Amino acid sequence: MLSCRLAVLSAMVVSTSLAASEPLPKLNLTANITVSGLSSGGYMAGQFHQAYAEEVTGVAILAAGPVNCAQGDLRIAMGHCMANPNSEPDLASIETKLNQLREAGELAPLSAVQGAKVWLFNGSADQTVSAKVGAALAKQYTHWLPAAQLAVVADQPFAHHFPTAKAGLTECDKSESPFIASCQYDAAAKLLGHILAKPLKAATDPIGQLLKLDQHQLAPASQGQLAQYGYVYIPQSCAAGQRCDLHISFHGCRQDASQIGEAYLRQTGLNDYAEANQLVVLYPQVEKSTLNPFGCWDWWGYSASNYLTKKGPQNLAVKQLAAALR
């Protein structure tokens, strides 16, 4: 679910009931940022980590491959970063390019990357991003991190979606809109527990606010890249001024609010844990376009040649959104 098989390269979500953007309460956020993402959002989470690792303390990537897998080429993306039987991400070439960008100061130094806790997930029945591609991502992070900081889950027989313990969603063996499934597997709890490095409790009835943000107003770099509106979930305690952390969750292709409404914003389980654990969740939304008809985050270079870097348009836009919440 990620590009033009992009129909396959993508895969996720139809109109939102939230009206115009709403005023933000004054938040008391720590400097800690954690990120997660599914499919194209998983690729984006990895890219955001490499760009801003000095600020990113935890990363969770579901159903995606190595950072810089596509190497700026859609043909490589389709041929080696999804479910092609002959997929073979070229990790040596990928790392050479990443090191060049690090040395040029266009990515964070590897020493900063090494400080994060990382959780990786790839369903063994995923027909969009194969187990081989997911294993290449795990191998990449194995070279970057101490073993104790890395958790890799590759033994669950799930299709291409965000698995949850909730009932009434997509069947676990199917990959279909809104790409959030009932699997008796609480991915939100597992990924947040690892990257936040603490035991979590869940709110049975989240009572925080899901607010609509004018991304173009808050983040100048978002114009022409992100949709006009994004969203943020703010627990009641955080709205009241309690010290809270920030988590950024990147949707997958076909999974933004214009395509599946509030499904990704409410059904993954992230808000349940955010409410009970002083965690604000930012849900940035990418813009659909002629070059990006399925609403995928840019992991192959449609936005700019520097898409991977600190100055990459989408990386920078999300960084500005995070800064605007502080």
Give the pLDDT confidence of 166-177 residue by residue, as tens digits. Answer: 999 999 999 999
pLDDT, greater one: 289 or 150: 150
Angle subtended at Cα 46 by Cα 34 and Cα 315, rounded to the nearest 5 degrees: 80
pLDDT at 4 over 80: no
Token pair of 126 as six digits: 């995923």
Q: What is the pLDDT of residue 199?
A: 86
204-231 burial, b at 16+ Cβ within 10 Å, e below that, comes to: eebebebbbbebbebbebbeebbbbbbb
Confidence of residue 20 (pLDDT cuts 50, 70, 90): low
Per the listing, tokens 């130094």 go with 109
Res 23: pLDDT = 83
- pLDDT at residue 78 above 80? yes
Residue 121's pLDDT band (boundaries 50, 70, 90)?
Answer: very high
Predicted confidence (pLDDT) per residue in 193-243, tens digit: 999 998 898 998 888 999 999 999 999 999 999 999 999 999 999 999 999
What is d(CA 128, CA 255) in angstroms, rounded to the nearest whole number?
A: 15
Query: Angle 313-324/40-51 helices, nearest 10 degrees?
Result: 80
Over residues 55-63, mean pLDDT: 98
The proportion of the chain whose per-residue pLDDT surpasses 70, expressed as a percent, equals: 94
CA 163-301-247 angle, to 5 degrees, is 40
Rounded mean pLDDT of 270-287?
96
Whole-number Cα distances in Å, 81 to 20, 39, 55: 37, 11, 27
Q: Please compute the mean of the pLDDT values over residues 139-158 and round it to a whole number.
A: 97
pLDDT surpasses 70 at 18 = no
pLDDT value for 16: 34
pLDDT computed for residue 133 by the predictor: 97
Distance from C-alpha of 40 to C-alpha of 295, rounded to nearest angstrom? 9
How much of the chain is helix, strand and coil, in % rounded to 5? 30, 20, 50
Q: Per DSSP, what are the bridge partners of residue 164?
A: 182
User: What is the predicted pLDDT for the residue at 130?
Assistant: 95
Q: What is the residue extent of each domain of the chain?
A: 6-324
What pLDDT does residue 205 have? 81
- Which amino acid makes up residue 221? A
Separation of alpha carbons 92 and 145, rounded Å: 17
pTM equals 0.93
Active site residues: 39, 126, 160
Are 235 and 206 contacting, i.e. CB atoms less than 8 angstroms apart?
yes
